[in-house]
């Protein structure tokens, strides 16, 4: 690990001021950053510890929503009775990610900013435009079983690893940000992440020196919610495909539906095509299958991951059947 300096800050204003220095990065739980530093992928010269900031609370909002502080632990959010009751898809997504020990340490803000688990990103001898812009993408034409099938480019076919972000996309959550000049802004989760294009190393809309201070959940949507994750093993593993679904339906007809995929793109993938194909249609497997076909119409396999296209369709159908039948 390369040498670095360290400081711990006690308020958000001091944090964004401290990280403005060249080579500085925030650290909270460190569950991803420290690994990347040991592998010589991340090379900060100064770490600003924000883990003690007073940003751990889960607060009720006047409109019936919730605000989750960026330093709240993943396990605490998953266990919160309000989250479990009103936003079960979020609790399910959090509990499906990592291990109990990591969930106890990892923060909500850090979860949103974790880096891809593409093996070529972690292999400093391989070409990776995300790690080293202009070096190529070894996953294209390489072993790409876990890689993206939607929103890809010739520069990058990596996937985003967060389960929580997929659920937040389906819930239409927003991310609160504090800038170095103390200005505050709010960005929808679906707008926060960028597709790779020609600049896969630029992953989010974060500005230099900006810090996540919280996540805002709007009032709970009507209907039932569910998160389904398909992975190679039932314990600690990242998604091959995941689906977050929010569906309001009677016994025969679907009302409103929201569908977001994980494990298939460079960002949490909200499928407006699937949602349009579901609204007002009969709550039948034929409807779910038609919506799945619409959602994956533009999906492109890279060889080893061709199976993901059909897997995503089937996972979506099963998830929709579960929430619709329970409504």
What DSSP string runs through 135-203?
S-BTTTTS--TTS-SSS-BTTB------SHHHHHHHTT-EEEEE-TTS-EEEEEHHHHB---TT-TT--
Would you give per-residue pLDDT tens digits along the chain (327 residues)?
899 999 999 999 999 999 998 999 999 999 999 999 999 999 999 999 999 999 999 999 999 999 999 999 999 999 999 999 999 999 999 999 999 999 999 999 999 999 999 999 999 999 999 999 999 999 999 999 999 999 999 999 999 999 999 999 999 999 999 998 899 999 999 999 999 999 999 999 999 999 999 999 999 999 999 999 999 998 889 999 999 999 998 878 999 999 999 999 999 999 999 999 999 999 999 999 999 999 999 999 999 999 999 999 999 999 999 998 765
- What pLDDT score does 141 carry? 95
Cβ(116)–Cβ(250) below 8 Å = no
Alpha-carbon span 324 to 53, nearest angstrom: 41
pTM equals 0.97
- What pLDDT score does 326 carry? 63
Q: Which of 208, 15, 171 is nearest to 94 (CA)?
A: 171
- What pLDDT score does 180 carry? 86
In this structure, are strands 24-27 and 46-49 parallel, antiparallel, or unpaired?
parallel
- What pLDDT score does 269 carry? 98
Cβ(120)–Cβ(139) below 8 Å = yes
- What pLDDT score does 234 carry? 87
- What pLDDT score does 1 carry? 86
The token pair that represents 293 in the structure block: 């076909």
Strands (E), the chain: 5-8, 24-27, 46-49, 58-60, 66-69, 174-178, 184-188, 211-217, 224-230, 241-249, 254-262, 269-270
- What pLDDT score does 164 carry? 98
- What pLDDT score does 325 carry? 74
């Amino acid at each position: 690990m390369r040498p670095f300096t360290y400081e711990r800050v006690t308020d958000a204003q001091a944090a964004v001021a401290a990280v403005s220095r060249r080579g500085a990065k925030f650290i909270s739980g460190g569950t991803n950053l420290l690994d990347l530093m040991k592998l010589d992928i991340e090379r900060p010269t100064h770490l600003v510890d924000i883990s003690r900031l007073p940003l751990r609370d889960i607060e009720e909002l006047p409109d019936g929503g919730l605000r989750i502080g960026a330093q709240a632990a993943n396990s605490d959010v998953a266990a919160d009775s309000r989250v479990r009751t009103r936003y079960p898809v979020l609790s399910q997504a959090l509990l499906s990610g990592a291990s109990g020990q990591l969930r106890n340490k990892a923060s909500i803000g850090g979860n949103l900013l974790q880096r891809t688990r593409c093996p070529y990103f972690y292999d400093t001898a391989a070409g990776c435009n995300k790690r080293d812009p202009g070096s190529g993408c070894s996953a294209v034409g390489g072993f790409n079983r876990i890689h993206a099938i939607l929103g890809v480019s010739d520069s990058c076919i990596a996937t985003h690893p967060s389960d929580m972000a997929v659920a937040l996309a389906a819930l239409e959550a927003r991310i609160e940000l504090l800038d170095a000049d103390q200005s505050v802004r709010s960005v929808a989760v679906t707008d926060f992440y960028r597709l790779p294009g020609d600049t896969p190393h630029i992953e989010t809309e974060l500005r230099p020196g900006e810090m996540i201070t919280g996540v805002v959940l709007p009032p709970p949507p009507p209907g039932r919610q569910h998160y389904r994750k398909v992975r190679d093993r039932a314990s600690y593993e990242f998604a091959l495909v995941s689906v977050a679904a929010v569906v309001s339906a009677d016994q025969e007809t679907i009302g409103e539906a929201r569908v977001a995929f994980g494990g298939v793109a460079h960002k949490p993938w909200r499928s407006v095509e699937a949602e349009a194909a579901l609204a007002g249609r009969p709550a039948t497997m034929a409807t779910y299958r038609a919506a799945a076909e619409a959602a994956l119409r533009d999906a492109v396999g890279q060889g080893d991951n061709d199976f993901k296209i059909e897997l995503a369709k089937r996972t979506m159908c099963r998830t929709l059947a579960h929430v619709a039948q329970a409504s």
